[in-house]
Amino acid sequence: MKYNKINVGHIIRIFALLSLASVVLGCTHVRNAEPIKYDLVFTGGRVIDPESGFDQQANVAINGKTIAAISNSPLLGNESIDASGLVIAPGFIDLHSHAMSRIGQQLQAMDGVTTALELEAGAYPLDALQQAMGSYSIINYGASTSHLAIRQRVIERINMPHISIHPEPLSPEFGSDAAAKPFVPKNAAFTQVASTQQLNLIKTNLQQGISEGGLGIGLLLDYMSGAVNTAELNIIFQVAAAAEVPVFVHIRRGLPADPAGLEEVISLAKKHRASAHVCHLNASAMGGIEHFLALISKAQAEGVDITAEAYPYNAGSTSISAAVFGRDWQSIFDISYKDIEWVATGERFTEDMWHDYRERFPSGQVIHHYGKENWTQTALSAPNIIVASDAMPLAAAQDKVHPRGAGTFSKILGRYIATDDNSAGMTLITALAKMTLLPAKRMETFAPGFKYKGRLRTGFDADITLFNPKSISDMATFKQPQTASRGIQYVLVNGEFILKDGKLIEGSLPGQLIKGAGGKTLKYK
């Protein structure tokens, strides 16, 4: 018998191929047999990501604090919620909220807000704000370094870290009365020009606040218009430029439509190569809103890092002793006493009542009705204008305040979106970008955590808001300012529900303090 030679190499190759096929088939079998199971899945909602432009019906899965999957295919979850008829959007980010309290956060949560920042007034030191908020919070929060709080420390020797925190004396010579001093814009911190020594202390404290995580510098310039001179402004913008953080500024107000306050900030930002953000642009610009927008666009085209925000209300709110009311406010706002409302009661002023209350209740709140709807619409619809609330400080459920702290974001989605009846409105994705993506991008270069917020994408933070686009509406009014918005169905912060089926979840406190990077360079001049 004759045998053929065995090709050993050929046999080895055959066995290798058979083994590889077995591995591949085995892996495929395991994947099909055991699909991934997520912590939570929303099914069938209209998923919108303003950054990528993704806008379609899909399913969203969450694991822990992170968005784990977005898919048109079915996803399996330990908990699954039918989101049919709802928009699934990134959680709303409010850059301008003074409502640093539990009740304030509750109202903002019911308005779809997952992060609220105190950037105009700020806080200093930052840990005092964290102590006031408690160990845990409902939504994420943070603050800029407060120029005002620093001025109060340096000039008045008063420790008032935030406008809603009761002040205390920093040294015994001020006696027991110092602790009772309220936030009154006629006190020395608002009116006194700083000495050279005081300017040096202000600078040092600003640097310290940023290094401790302050999100830029908060500058209430119009409240201390006569006190803050050019030398002090230069220091503020120098510090901001060195740390590569913005100045969040309430610009000086002149006569109606006077752009001088905005031009001043643009000039300072140019000179020091600093970033700036203009708070409540529509409230400051009034009838000059188109010119203000043009000035900002021109500055941006010239390389200035400047942004601005607006809110959807035609009335402002502040204390009755605010610096602007010490000037010719009737000409500045083009209003009279009857156009100003005493927040506590809803009464409108007479001249006698006005002078009496300014003397007796200097920290009392007023609402001044001076805006026009066409000014507001022009500001809100402008490209790159951010939506922010300017929510007022709120301590208790019975407090009367401006309703913008409860209804800003739902009002935008309920009244300013293009429909058959409102062809001039914004598209839904544009409006959402103004309250999610744009504020996140404003913050992310110096607060890296924001790189994972304001978007609805795999791997990003599970800060998510679901709402019914057909029923969403603000419900808060000037007479009933603490009425929760309607149509917000689910809100998650860091992957945890704070609102479910339209109701707050008692005891849910997943919010975190968000800090800045401490200044990118810290090479201060």
**pLDDT band at residue 331, thresholds of 50, 70 and 90?**
very high
pLDDT, one tens digit per residue, over 237-250 is 999 999 999 999 99
Q: Tell me how many degrees the CA angle 444-122-430 measures, rounded to the nearest 5.
A: 45
Is 57 a member of any domain?
no
What pLDDT does 385 receive?
Answer: 98
Is 28 a member of any domain?
no
Q: Name residues whose C-beta falls within 8 Å of residue 97's C-beta, 6 or more positions apart in sequence.
A: 104, 108, 113, 116, 117, 118, 388, 389, 390, 391, 405
Q: DSSP character for 463?
A: -
What pLDDT does 7 receive?
Answer: 45
| Contact between 164 and 100 (Cβ < 8 Å) | yes
Is 35 a member of any domain?
no
Is 90 a member of any domain?
no
pLDDT at 36 over 60: yes
Is 89 a member of any domain?
no
**pLDDT band at residue 3, thresholds of 50, 70 and 90?**
very low
Domain that includes residue 263, residue range: 96-504
Rounded to whole angstroms, the Cα distance separating 295 from 277 reads: 13
| Contact between 516 and 437 (Cβ < 8 Å) | no
What pLDDT does 183 receive?
Answer: 65
- Which CATH number covers residue 240? 3.20.20.140
What pLDDT does 54 receive?
Answer: 98
pLDDT at 292 over 90: yes
Rounded to whole angstroms, the Cα distance separating 369 from 250 reads: 18
pLDDT, one tens digit per residue, over 115-143 is 999 999 999 999 999 998 887 899 999 99
What does DSSP say about strands 315-319 and 168-169: parallel, antiparallel, or unpaired?
Answer: unpaired
250-286 exposure pattern, b = at least 16 Cβ within 10 A, e = fewer: bbbbbeebbbebbebbbebbbebebbbbbbbbbbbbb
For the whole model, what pTM was predicted?
0.90
**pLDDT band at residue 409, thresholds of 50, 70 and 90?**
very high
What pLDDT does 399 receive?
Answer: 87
Number of domains in the chain: 1
Rounded to whole angstroms, the Cα distance separating 312 from 280 reads: 10
- Comparing 31-40, 258-267, 511-520, which segment has the lowest mean pLDDT? 31-40
Q: What is the average pLDDT across 72-95?
A: 98
Is 180 a member of any domain?
yes
Is 33 a member of any domain?
no
Give 12: exposed, middle or buried? Use CB within 10 Å, 0-12, 13-18, 19+. exposed
Q: Name residues whose C-beta falls within 8 Å of residue 135's C-beta, 6 or more positions apart in sequence.
A: none
Is 178 a member of any domain?
yes
Structure tokens at 376: 């507001």
